[in-house]
Amino acid sequence: MALLGGVTGAIYFAQARFSSTLERERDVQRFTARIAHLDEVLTMSALMFAATGDPEWRARYDSHVDPLDQAIAGLRNISPELFDRSLGAATNDANLALLAMEERALTLAASGERDVALQVLTSDEYSLQKRIYADGNREATDTLAATIQREADTQETLYVGLLMVCYGLGAAVGGAWIWVIRALRQFDELRKLNAEFIAKTRELEAANRAKSLFLTHMSHEIRTPMTAILGYCDMLEDLADAPGAASLRHEAIQTIRRSGEHLLGVTSGMLDVSRIDADKLVLDRADVDVAQVVNELIALLAPRALQKGVTLDAQCDTPIPRTIRTDALRLRQICLNLLGNALKFTARGGVSLRLGLVRSDPPALRIAVRDTGIGMTGSQMSSLFQPFAQVDDSMSRRFEGAGLGLYISRRLAELLGGDITVQSTPGEGSTFSLHLPLESIAGVELVTPALKSSTVLLPARSVHTDGAASAGPRLAGVRVLLAEDGPDNQRLISYHLRKEGAVVDVVSNGREALRRLTVEGELRAELPCDLVITDMQMPEMDGYAFVTALRELGCGLPVVALTAHAMDHEAERCMKAGCNVYAVKPIQREALIDACSRAMQFAGVSR
């Protein structure tokens, strides 16, 4: 009996310890999820305040700082020594750096310097600290979870031993058996919780990587048009009463306006994402003439289609209701995004919008946008509608955009009660279909409206750089090969170089630049340039691959690297690839000419 009592007491004590272990595991999961959520709220609130200046976003940021600190403290209290040891000094430093950058951005935005504030929050340094902070927290929580799991495994071994003793004692220990069975069930529950925790951790890691990529794209989307805006302002100052100034002034103004509209679009996209995710987007439903909306969009986008040399038309496959009850602004936003994307990825053929009534239960209006563009693979389509994600990083550089449009469009479609689906074949094109459910169409007037088409093809406009070279002592007679994929930046950089007397040859990517310098894979006997200037983010072959290939061929030409990434490690990466001078966008004229002058000091030096 004494043995039986001892065994029963041991089982009771072990079961109590196990319940405590199970509760600690639940706390780790709860605090981890809360920290990830609050961290995202702080980042988005700071970004939105910087973008809009709305004090509501500053208040939202301030109200979530203390809860985040409390959640971190709660996680630390589970095992203070273990948590602090696994978290590490680097993670704490990253947290302090993030808070400092966010506070600086909030202060700048409050004083009206919102562009500078956005640069702080979309900088590579901010992204790096976010990544260090997220990785450190993940390592700490993983260590805590692993330690708790080891404790549970030890307790499970004890339970098995006690079970064997109970088995030897026979049926007299029926009460102990109940404790054992209950404990084994709790072990199963812990295993399930641990599996769920691992899966959730992986999801959070993916979300953090996606956010880091998103911030990188935002940095590029903001810095690139800023290069054009600031540079063309310099050009306008120089023009004065120079010959042909009126034409150049008009081109500069149009470029500044186009870049400003791009920045406005990026900011509006961020605002829409935040409103949708916070359930603060208000719909204004009214009777809407869908055919009128479509015709307005065709007229708006026709010049873009004509410029690219592709067709753009709309057709009505079946009679449709004369009007439907929906939000005209959001319907227009969805269709504009789908048509704009289709035109962006279509170089030949055309884009067609098709209207039709689906006689389902309930009936629905189908708006399908078909294109003959590049198409997508299954894996690319799977990430299309994810927030802070893009189909392909290299494609985002080639086709522009922050990667928010499709996510916003699908969420808007869902708010309108519908959905967006996609079908695509690589190399053949894609079809995006918006389905909007309708009320009963019994007694509703159905019409087949006349829809607009743009069928006149014009050759796509090529990029022409200004052929008049201005005399300038610093680069007089220097032959420059410029590799830059942005047409506006091509014109701007060429203008500044020619003003200083350089002779400029422009290509759109590293592969084209390499062709200029080689014959059948070998360097030309007489190189056609004295200096290479290359953007580091380009489609087909980026600047890193181009310069690396150049140096492997034994080419000693001086190289200036241009990049929108402003971190120190980016400069080191450029130098390792073989560049001589590193310059950050948006680059001003004097900085560009100075970089070229410094690079020319390396002329004739073999690598």
On the question of a common fold for 285-454 and 479-600, the answer reads: no
Nearest-angstrom CA–CA distance, 550 and 547: 5
- Averages of pLDDT over each 10 residues, the chain, 607 residues: 50 52 66 74 79 79 85 73 59 80 88 81 78 74 66 61 56 53 63 64 60 56 66 72 70 73 65 66 87 87 83 92 90 90 89 92 93 86 65 44 72 91 91 91 86 50 36 79 90 90 94 93 92 91 93 93 69 87 80 90 64
**What pLDDT score was predicted for residue 275?**
66
User: ∠97-102-104 over CA atoms, to 5°?
Assistant: 95
Nearest-angstrom CA–CA distance, 153 and 492: 66
**What pLDDT score was predicted for residue 95?**
78
Strand partners, 263: none
**Contact yes or no for 351/431 (Cβ under 8 A):** no
Q: At what angle do helices 405-415 and 328-344 cross, to 10 degrees?
A: 150
Output the CA–CA distances (angstroms, integers) from residue 85 to 76, 141, 439, in the order listed: 10, 12, 61
**Contact yes or no for 226/218 (Cβ under 8 A):** no
**Contact yes or no for 504/533 (Cβ under 8 A):** no
**What pLDDT score was predicted for residue 252?**
75
Residues 6+ apart with CB under 8 A from 202: none
Phi-psi map region of 449: left, alpha, beta (phi>0 left; psi -120 to 50 alpha): beta
Output the CA–CA distances (angstroms, integers) from residue 564 to 213, 372, 532, 568, 583, in the order listed: 14, 32, 18, 12, 9
Could you please report the per-residue DSSP string of 45-110? HHHHHHHH--HHHHHHHHHHHHHHHHHHHHHHHHSHHHHHHHHHHHHHHHHHHHHHHHHHHHHHHH
**Contact yes or no for 350/310 (Cβ under 8 A):** yes
Look up the pTM and report it: 0.47
The residue type of 16 is A
Phi, psi of 286 (to 5 degrees): -160, 175
**Contact yes or no for 434/367 (Cβ under 8 A):** yes
**What pLDDT score was predicted for residue 466?**
38
Terminal-residue alpha carbon distance, the chain: 87
Nearest-angstrom CA–CA distance, 351 and 288: 24
**What pLDDT score was predicted for residue 470?**
40
Q: At what angle do helices 568-577 and 543-552 cross, to 10 degrees?
A: 30
Closest CA to 139 of 208, 226, 235, 58: 208
**What pLDDT score was predicted for residue 201?**
62
Nearest-angstrom CA–CA distance, 47 and 50: 5
Give me 220's structure tokens: 């590029």
SS3 441: coil
Residues 6+ apart with CB under 8 A from 331: 288, 290, 293, 416, 436
**What pLDDT score was predicted for residue 392?**
47
Nearest-angstrom CA–CA distance, 550 and 544: 10
Per this entry, what is the length of the chain? 607
DSSP 281: P
**What pLDDT score was predicted for residue 552?**
93
Query: Rg of the chain over CA atoms, in angstroms?
Result: 31
Which fold, 285-454? Heat Shock Protein 90 (3.30.565)
Residues 6+ apart with CB under 8 A from 149: 25, 190, 194
The dotted CATH code for 479-600 is 3.40.50.2300
Nearest-angstrom CA–CA distance, 538 and 545: 10
Alpha helices in 509-567 (DSSP H): 510-517, 543-552
Output the CA–CA distances (angstroms, integers) from residue 179 to 10, 163, 174, 338, 370, in the order listed: 10, 10, 9, 61, 65
**Contact yes or no for 232/466 (Cβ under 8 A):** no
**What pLDDT score was predicted for residue 70?**
85
**What pLDDT score was predicted for residue 596?**
93
Nearest-angstrom CA–CA distance, 328 and 292: 10
Instruction: Report the half-sphere exposure of 67 (CA within 13 A, side-chain side).
Output: 17
Strand partners, 22: none
Give me 345's structure tokens: 């990825």
Phi, psi of 599 (to 5 degrees): -65, -35
Closest CA to 308 of 342, 353, 333: 342
Burial class of 606 by CB neighbour count within 10 A (0 to 12, 13 to 18, 19+) = exposed
Domain residue limits, the chain: 2-211, 222-277, 285-454, 479-600
The residue type of 222 is I
